[in-house]
Structure 1
Amino acid sequence: MEELVFADIKVGDTASFSKTITEGDVVTYAGLTGDFNPVHINAEYARESMFKERIAHGMLVSGLISAVLGTQLPGPNSIYLGQELSFKAPVKIGDTATATVTVAEKRDDKRILKLKTVVTNQDGVVVIDGTAVIKKVGL
């Protein structure tokens, strides 16, 4: 993966990453974090919930934003300073989620970027909306 030079990053620049959320992703995330909320792992329980079926952990899906930030824009040698998230709709097992980040503000003196972050599903529905603040420490 290639590192972007801070001076070359412009307001309006954008990058995306897509992933289909699998059963394995949900089970692995539950095991890694200890979040065994039954709406994520118990089909019978989930059928009785407002979602009517199992859904992915919101933080699992929001992790796709981190993937874009750490590998594409601004990419390697970036420090995650903060993230605001608003969960708008569930992501179900089998859904394809696409995280898109867009540079909204650039502060040259501190090498800090504010990025609009959004995750959509395969139907274009916004499932997560938010803002990230990143400090670029590399090039």
Structure 2
Amino acid sequence: MKTIEFIISEADIEAFAHVSGDFNPVHLDQEYAKVHGFPNRISHGLLTMGKVWSVLSSHFLKPNDLPYSYEMKFIAPVFVGDTVTLSINHVGDKWTIKGVCAKKPIINATILIKQ
């Protein structure tokens, strides 16, 4: 098993909102997020998913490796400024990834790679 970390930054949230067109205030407005039960603004789910793929593809995969299945279960929200720690296992074409923030599970993913 290998571990690696990344941070969901303010710049990540802003850039993803503009690229995706998802300007939901729960991602961009602190007061709105608090009124709706969150302690902080939450990351876009697809931003978190994309960061996981970025880590996997840039640190572990070869240039010709292609995903043919990507499943992710969101267990808990990821907040702006969170450090996400990924535990990554690899057997054959199957990559399993568990993500935590402050020791709390936030995602489980399985990615199948054609090599």
TM over 0.5: yes
Q: TM-score, normalised by structure 2?
A: 0.87
Q: Deviations over 1:57-95 (max 9, x none)?
A: 122112222123212223332101111111111111111
Distance 1:39 1:116 in 2: 29
Tell me the residue number matched to 1:78.
Answer: 65
Matches within 5 A, 1:116-131: 116-121=96-101, 123-131=102-110
> How far is the alpha carbon of 1:30 from its aligned partner?
0.6
Bigger Cα displacement from structure 2, 32-41 vs 44-53: 44-53
In 2, the alpha carbon distance for the partners of 1:16 and 1:59 equals: 21
Cα RMSD (Å) of the superposition? 1.6
Is 1:64 the equivalent of 2:51? yes
- How many equivalent residue pairs? 115
Compute the TM-score of the two structures, normalised by the length of structure 1: 0.74
CA contact 2:16–2:47 (8 Å) conserved in 1? yes
Larger radius of gyration: 1
| Residue in 2 that maps onto 1:3 | none
Q: Are residue 26 (structure 1) and residue 6 (structure 2) matched?
A: no
Give the unaligned 5+ runs of structure 2.
Answer: none
The answer (yes or no) to whether the contact 1:62–1:128 under 8 Å persists in 2 is no
Give the corresponding residue for 1:55: 42
The structure with the greater share of residues assigned to helix is 2
